[in-house]
């Protein structure tokens, strides 16, 4: 299926400690988190809020467990703040990731985002960008892409529930307003399915621009509840809207087949935030690892 050495498997720390709601998994330590990632058979991780920010200390802790850093999330505010403010914060983030050996930088526009608001209904209050904001976003992302290229890196745009770039149409528009040399795409299965998009069609349409993949599944009955009860994104996560690949309703066999057929090279990152007090992170990491092996041979 996948070409040898083309793809590496990572898992995000968000299943152990949630950066959006640090009270979820507050008791789980950084060492426990990375030890369990390695124990479950993963080669890499993204960066969570408990990770040391000193590259030497982080490298040392990871190398003991033979783990690498795949990437880390960056919140941009290109639609609501001056470009310079986002660019300055981005440069620090870029240089940290470069020191950690990452090749891609996850970027998500958080201007007008409701993803961090505890009670704002996710579906009813989804933000939309004005024409002017679309232009600011596309131009700003181009600028960040050029800054990433100075270090031989790429930005991968993270579409996300509760933001101005959530739907298939919004992703397509963003890709059309930017160029592949500057802006690549992160494909997150869970966010697309949650939004009600045809995630396989999004994958087919944008395959050449996809340079990073987040694998998460959804529990459709919880997604229905989120709509009926007008829950927020954070309430949805707590209620268990997301889970690991194979534990929900997504067709990951098809996702892997499409990626492999396009000679995808890069990381596949299991990223399934749920309440660690309900869903034991090691148990779910092992479940995800077994399922990925069965479906992709990796």
| Residue 269 C-beta: closest distance to Co ion, Å | 8
- Neighbouring-strand partners of residue 243: 217
15 contact choice in ligand LX7YND4F, Co ion, none (CB below 5 to 8 Å, kind-dependent): none
* Candidate residues 136, 214, 238, 295; the one interacting with Co ion per rule CB under 5 A: 214
Task: Outline where DSSP puts E strands in the chain.
Answer: 7-11, 44-46, 68-71, 73-76, 104-109, 154-158, 183-188, 210-215, 217-218, 242-243, 266-270
CB 161 → ligand LX7YND4F: shortest distance, Å? 7
Site for Co ion in 173-212 (CB under 5 A): 188
Shortest distance, CB of residue 192 to ligand LX7YND4F, whole angstroms?
A: 11
Minimum distance from residue 262 beta carbon to ligand LX7YND4F (Å): 22
Binding segment (CB under 6 A) for ligand LX7YND4F, from list 13-21, 138-146, 198-206, 248-256 = 13-21
Nearer to ligand LX7YND4F, 115 or 184 (CB): 115
CA dist 148 and 154 (Å) reads 5
Burial 279-296 (b: 16+ CB within 10 A, else e): bebbebbbbbbebbeebb
HSE of 32, CA atoms in CB hemisphere, 13 A: 13
Window 15-34: residues binding ligand LX7YND4F (CB under 6 A): 19-20
Kindly state whether residue 271 participates in binding ligand LX7YND4F, applying the rule CB under 6 A.
yes
Q: Hey, which residues between 266 and 285 contact Co ion (CB under 5 A)? A: 271
Binding flag, residue 126, ligand LX7YND4F (CB under 6 A): no
Residue 121 DSSP label = -
Task: From 14-22, 30-38, 81-89, 149-157, give the range in contact with ligand LX7YND4F by CB under 6 A.
Answer: 14-22
Q: Roughly how many angstroms between the first and final C-alpha of the chain, as a whole number?
A: 9
> 247: how many CB neighbours lie within 10 A of its CB?
19
- Which residues in 63-88 are b (16+ Cβ under 10 Å) and which e? eebebbbbbbbbbbbbbeeebeebbe
| Contacting ligand LX7YND4F within 184-243 (CB under 6 A) | 188, 191, 214
> What 3-state class would DSSP assign to 296?
helix
19 interface partner picked from ligand LX7YND4F, Co ion, none, CB below 5 to 8 A per type: ligand LX7YND4F
Structure tokens at 231: 């829950």
Which positions lie near ligand LX7YND4F, rule CB under 6 A? 14, 19-20, 73, 115, 158, 188, 191, 214, 271, 273
């Amino acid at each position: 299926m996948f070409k040898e050495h083309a793809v590496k498997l990572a898992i995000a720390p968000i299943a152990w400690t949630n950066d959006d709601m640090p009270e979820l998994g507050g008791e789980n330590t950084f060492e426990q988190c990375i030890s369990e990632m390695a124990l479950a058979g993963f080669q890499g991780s993204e960066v969570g809020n408990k990770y040391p920010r000193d590259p030497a200390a982080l490298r040392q802790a990871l190398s003991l467990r033979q783990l690498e850093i795949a990437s880390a999330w960056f919140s941009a505010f290109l639609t609501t703040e001056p470009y310079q403010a986002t660019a300055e914060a981005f440069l620090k983030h870029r240089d940290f990731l470069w020191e950690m050996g990452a090749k891609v930088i996850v970027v998500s526009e958080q201007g007008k985002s409701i993803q961090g608001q505890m009670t704002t209904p996710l579906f009813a209050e989804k933000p939309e960008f004005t024409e002017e904001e679309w232009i600011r976003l596309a131009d700003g992302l181009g600028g960040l892409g050029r800054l990433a290229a100075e270090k031989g890196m790429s930005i991968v745009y993270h579409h996300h529930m509760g933001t101005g770039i959530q739907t298939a149409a919004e992703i397509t528009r963003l890709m059309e307003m930017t160029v592949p040399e500057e802006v690549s795409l992160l494909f997150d299965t869970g966010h697309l399915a949650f939004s009600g998009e045809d995630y396989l069609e999004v994958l087919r349409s944008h395959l050449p621009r996809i340079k990073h993949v987040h694998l998460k599944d959804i529990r459709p009955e919880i997604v229905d509840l989120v709509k009926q009860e007008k829950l927020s994104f954070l309430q949805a996560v707590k209620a268990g809207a997301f889970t690991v690949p194979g534990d929900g309703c997504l067709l990951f066999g098809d996702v892997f087949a499409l990626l492999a057929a396009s000679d995808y090279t890069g990381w596949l990152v299991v990223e399934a935030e749920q309440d660690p007090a309900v869903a034991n992170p090691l148990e779910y990491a092992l479940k995800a690892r077994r399922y990925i092996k069965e479906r992709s041979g990796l």
